[in-house]
Structure 1
């Protein structure tokens, strides 16, 4: 099972980091976030997941809830 380094960032500042063994980088980010994530780092609060064996970096942000307007 791959090992990922997951860093939680606000802007460019790392505020937390941990290593975990999971099947894929998205799952690693979701476990740290404790919520669904988006496959792009589009927010101030985001997550960088590094696969040291493959030398690959992934970026994620929290998934924004879809706003629905039922008043129509």
Structure 2
């Protein structure tokens, strides 16, 4: 398991920072957010993870599934 620093950003502003231990960066950010994550940081609200070696990973929340309407 590796330790990651998880920075939550809105634009370029850091709004929260957490530490997470996980097998990989994607699992670390999913553990912190409790949400499904996209492996690409394409949204204004995104996450930057840095591991012990200084490698940086960027993610964003996965798009919400389409709303299902029923009669």
TM-score if structure 1 supplies the norm length?
Answer: 0.84
Number of the residue aligned with 1:57: 56
1:29-68 CA-partner distances (Å, limit 9, x unpaired): 1122220000111001000010122x21000000003438
Give the 4+ runs in structure 1 shifted more than 2 A: 65-69
Q: CA RMSD in A?
A: 1.7
Structure 2 unmatched runs, 5+? none
Number of the residue aligned with 1:42: 42
Structure 1 unmatched runs, 5+? none
- Tell whether 2:6 aligns with 1:9: no
Number of the residue aligned with 2:31: 31
